[in-house]
Amino acid sequence: MKYAPHKYQEVATDFIINKPISAILLECGLGKSIITLTAINDLMLDSFDVSKVLIIAPLRVAKTTWKDEIKKWEHLNLLEYSIIVGSKKEREQALNKKAHIYIINRENIDWLITKSGYKFDFDMLVIDELSSFKNGQSKRFKSLLKVRPKIKRVVGLTGTPSSNGLMDLWAEFKILDMGERLEKYITHYRNKYFLPDKRNGMQIFSYKPMIDSEERIYDKISDITISMKAKDHLKMPELVINEVKVSMDNNERAIYEELKKKFVVEVAESVKNRTYTTEIDAVNAAVLSGKLLQLASGNIYDEDRKSYHIHDRKLDALEDLIEGANGKPVLVAYWYGSDKERIMKRFSVREIKTEQDIRDWNDGKIPVAIIHPASAGHGLNLQIGGATLIWFSLIWSLELYQQTNARLYRQGQKDTVVIHHIICSGTIDEDVMKALQRKEKIQDALMNAVKAQIKE
């Protein structure tokens, strides 16, 4: 197929070509792969500025998306690629294959750098989903940082650069510029741009940005960063965000409130006409958060991962929403395994997991599908098969939330996209929704600060 780029795609490609270090913040659907591959093609086969490229991507994307893009476009037909996934033997064979571009999933970065015995000789690096390197303590981050000085060109791609706030940016940009813009050490970055927030005496649990931190941080990274939003450059469908409230009865509410207050609660279970009670506790605030989310959705796990049923309020609401769709395909996002089991027991559904599932969904063969956000985040095009998404379980991660929504709300979608959130009133569900909105506001501020000004 012949490539006829939009103006914004030309601008992004030129930015990569002209900047040895670049952070390209592109929302889903804007074509970050073809933009980057076109730049690689120019740098490698035209200007001969680079000779060997490593692309790091989520597993599904590493296996299919980049390969498919190279095969799809006529002007890329001279680029040879090798995909470093699979067994140790398969990865070693892929590494030894002669190619221009080597594509690896992020889980294998530590193996490549510290365990494979391979001499790292890539002179250009592309990180697809830069936000997956936001943890400066992870193995993938530390391993990649070891070889970063050997690489003369680096491109970071993401649509969710600050999904959990400004603190995420330090590690992401450290990988790009080795600490030139946002300090070499996280402590220096924190002291320069943040103040202690929640604390217990000398122990600090969280930090909040200083009043002018956003502007100062954005100014520091603006020379190597551009952002683009789909709504500014593509004809996007209408988007409707809806909240569906459900309420627990007094007994269910009492269980929730007791756990919230005391970090421990007793739940009852009937087995062969006999009632047994089990004590469920939360050892810390993080565990408590998860258990409260489970309760809000209707079930709760004990320490042995046994699930206890509390209520069906969300299942009832889901039934109403499915009926209200009047036969149109519905995609349901869940987080906990117990939610999946209950949904599958109540409704005739199919989980989107394989390539065949994706094809069948897009062919209209699945009336009700379920999907887990962790597997839906990247490289999944579901916009042809439906336009209704229902969040049964809510999640804290803005990145997974936005990426899952973007499976339907993206270029190629013909209908108005409706995203429902089933929220249990007076529970942590409401806090999660507020947190996602706050995070989105911070991220939007970053995207706008480094927004590419393009004259179409």
**228, pLDDT greater than 80:** no
Mean pLDDT of the chain: 87
Task: Give whole-number Cα distances, 251 to 255, 268, 409, in Å.
Answer: 7, 12, 39
Strands 207-209 and 194-196 turn out to be antiparallel
Q: Is the pLDDT of residue 384 over 70?
A: yes
Q: What tens digit of pLDDT does each residue of 353-369 get?
A: 888 888 899 999 999 99
At residue 441, the pLDDT reads 82
The pLDDT of residue 178 is above 70? yes
Task: Go through the chain and tell me how many residues it has.
Answer: 456
- pLDDT of 275 > 60? The answer is no
φ/ψ of residue 88, rounded to 5: -55, -40
Q: Dihedral angle at the C-alpha atoms of 136, 108, 159, 218, nearest 10 degrees?
A: 30
d(CA 298, CA 283): 21
Tell me the three state secondary structure of residue 439. Answer: helix
Mean pLDDT for 415-420 is 89
* Residue 184 CB neighbour total at 10 angstroms: 12
pLDDT at residue 183, as a whole number? 93
Longest dimension (CA), the chain: 78
What's the whole-number mean pLDDT along residues 436-456? 74
pLDDT at 61 over 50: yes
Q: DSSP string of 160-204?
A: -TTTT-GGGHHHHHHHHHTTTTT-SSHHHHHHHHEEE-SEETTEE
Please give the pLDDT value at position 271. Answer: 46
pLDDT tens, position by position, 371-383: 999 886 555 788 8
pLDDT at site 270:
54
For 435, the 3-state DSSP assignment is: helix
Write the pLDDT tens digit of every residue in 134-166: 899 999 999 999 999 999 999 999 877 776 778
How buried is residue 376: exposed, middle or buried, by Cβ count under 10 Å (0-12/13-18/19+)? buried
- Tell me: the pLDDT tens digits for 10-41? 989 999 999 999 999 887 667 889 999 999 99
Q: What is the mean pLDDT of residues 113-136?
A: 92
Q: What is the pLDDT of residue 138?
A: 92
Pairing of strands 307-309, 299-301: antiparallel
CB 311 within 8 A of CB 298: yes
| Region 407-419 average pLDDT | 84
Q: pLDDT at position 412, please?
A: 76
Give the model's confidence band at 198: pLDDT under 50 very low, under 70 low, under 90 confident, else very high. Answer: confident
| Beta carbons within 8 Å of 351's beta carbon, 6+ residues apart | 340, 344, 357, 369, 370, 371, 372
| Residue in the block written with tokens 């769709």 | 325
Q: Which two tokens stand for residue 97?
A: 């294959």
What domains can be seen in the chain, in order of their start residue?
Answer: 7-234 (3.40.50.10810), 239-435 (3.40.50.300)
Q: What are the tens digits of pLDDT across the range 81-96?
A: 999 999 999 999 999 9
Question: Residue 273 above 60 pLDDT?
Answer: no
What is the average pLDDT across 433-451? 81
* Range 344-354 average pLDDT: 92
pLDDT of 260 reads 83
Instruction: Read off the pLDDT of each residue in 98-104 and give the average, rounded to a whole number.
Output: 96
> Per mean pLDDT, which range of 91-105, 169-183, 303-317 is the poorest?
303-317
Percent of the chain with pLDDT over 90: 52
Confidence of residue 282 (pLDDT cuts 50, 70, 90): low
